[in-house]
Structure 1
Amino acid sequence: MPHKSSLARSIDRVVTSGSCTGCGACTLLADGISMRESADGFLRPVAENGHTKSSRDTIKQFNRVCPGRRVSAPVVEEGGSHHEIFGRYISVWRAWASDPEVREQGSSGGVLTALTAWLADTGQVTSTQAVAASTCAPNRSVSVRITTRQEALSAAGSRYAPVAALEGTSLSSENALVGKPCEIAAARAITSESQGSAPLMLSFFCAGTPSQHATDSLVRKLGLETNNLMSMRYRGGGWPGYFTAIDPDGREESLSYAESWGAHLGRDLQMRCKLCVDGTGEASDIAVGDFWETDSAGYPLFSEGDGESVAIARTHRGDDVIRRAAEAGVIIVEEVTLDDLIAVQPLQVKRRRTLAGRLLGRRLAGYRVPHYPGYSLAPHFTKRAVLNLRTAAGTFLRSVKSRVRGRSADR
């Protein structure tokens, strides 16, 4: 067996503990690392032949940057505020794209698509790194560079599948980056030592990354073949939109969001997502999520309608972009408060309040867990001790059973 470098061993520890997010940040730190699909259908870093050149400084950088090792709470900028659930912010808006086509194609209000198209059209960024369906295999997701409005529209809509958004990314101030919260946190950590060089960072509320196997099995459940698709989308074409797959003969099959995500995709998440401290893009400049309507019990309604988003300006840079986009007529906004989100984002609220219990249960089962300095999880545990202890017990039992059955720690 070849001798593994210190960096390769550090990466292995993250992967085997079930803490890897598949973000691809480690590929930017050293040569010889690439992302490959694991047997479980997730993307994982692999060092060629177990080797990659790594200095002591590279190891330190990896331990600081990798969201499977550490995610530090971002600093509240001067004049900003902090919310106990949703984190730092400068301003908060209910928002949607003014262009009906953009609003229709986007996952909720089309805000990220509208901003990406506007940034490209006006030359404010050279390009935006984002994610879209593969043109040759629509059931798979790939990183793309957006330089035009049409490319932004083509990439509209959520992609609930693994993709390493940071692999091959240029983290330049001339560009923008759209990514999951963990990817944005890693990008922010990489660029933190070079002030003024970070791209404009756009994120979205994330409930976790499902396995590629989940998408493929859902396509087959609809009676279609994964290797014979003309198009496939998870959402969009309405709000929240339908999971829709079309084959070359024009046969179209679809499932509602509640069925596709709630009963299928959302049940096959990687372990690290269940231990996530930030599902709302706190490290970004702008974070966007669904502004769901809710029933009398506070549960989100997934009936079709015109999409509406919450847009959180996390930084003054993000606040400036939102305000200028609104003045230019690109998006329509009305100011709201983060307390308004507690009722319409119950999953994010519950996850933050019970995370301490999940981390405790995972550690008691013998697994390493990520370190989350600055997130003040202890008060949530104290306020809801019974709930967190029950959560810890459930996480412990599931983790032990997984190990006993010989399943991968990554599931």
Structure 2
Amino acid sequence: MTGASSGIGRGVALALAGKGVRVIAAARRIDALDSLASESGGRITALKLDVTDVGTRLAAHWRNRPLLLDCSHILDEHGRERMPVWLGRMISDARAKRAMLIPSARLSDPSEAELHAFKSFVDSSVGAAFALLLASGDLADIAVVPRIRHCLDRLGTTAGECVLVIDFSDADLSLPEFAEPVIRYGVELVQELGSWRKIVFQGTGFPEKNPAEDGGCQTVRRSEWAAWKHVVATDPTMLAHLTFGDYAADCAKMTTGKGGVAIRHLRYTCDEDWLVQRGRKLGRSDKTIMSAVCQAIVGSGHFSGASFSAADAQIWALANGVGGAGTATTWRQLNTTHHITTVVSNLVEMRGGVIKSGPAPAAQLQLAV
């Protein structure tokens, strides 16, 4: 049984073991699996999943394009002391499958030993040698520049070969006129180390708790986008130094293992806001609930059209009663696909470009989605 370290998977594994079934429980968190095996009285065998399948997953969706892997979320999970083994296997496997994986870590995270291990994977030919993640709070540290320089020296690389991500998810971006000078200061400060391969501004204004009531709709301002636009409007030359980044239609906090029933809703990205449309429960089927959610989005006046993205085509189809309701994974895919398409379109327009619209899908093709 996969995914057995927490949530529903853990509960089912224990229930089966309680009925005398021998269970092989597989997951990435070996500590949680060991606890589960102990609780079962020996009827559950723990099996840690290999991390090399990351390469297969990445190559399936993002081949021959540079991508950053934030190792901060997996260092403790897979073991810092064994990092050269498992991370080396993961990176070599991914690159062999033409996923141009670039390791990244937070400035505050890696030890001297881990920096030495990361050095083994530095390879600028995949788009950048390394990516360093800086929290906006780090900018208040008077030693932040020497700390960054030390990391680069230990990695055996330079700013010109690396990506620097300045994450403002821990900052209040609700007032762009106040956020703009802080962002500018951060960019100017890190440029003391030279011209970076890329500097990424990253942030999110999406709340940790779903803001829409049952059966309701709530707009949430895209404060990170408003702050970014204010920076560029104040100084257009910043476009040459800075790239926009966000957390898609989500907050910056990553939580796992809670289980529970997913909220039936969609987060639809508009030019300035997110439209959070939540379904009404009332004991109805997922198909009925999500069809109503999609109907509300299509009729909101903010719908981009069925030809805008694959996600929009699916939203249009479900609004017309065609196709299944999907799962929480499907809904997140719809949110993310539409969001990325919107942001890329916005960025291209900001740089004076134009993305040609594809042909509107014929009704029968839309209905076949």
Higher fraction of helix: 2
TM-score using structure 2 length: 0.24
Structure of greater Rg:
2
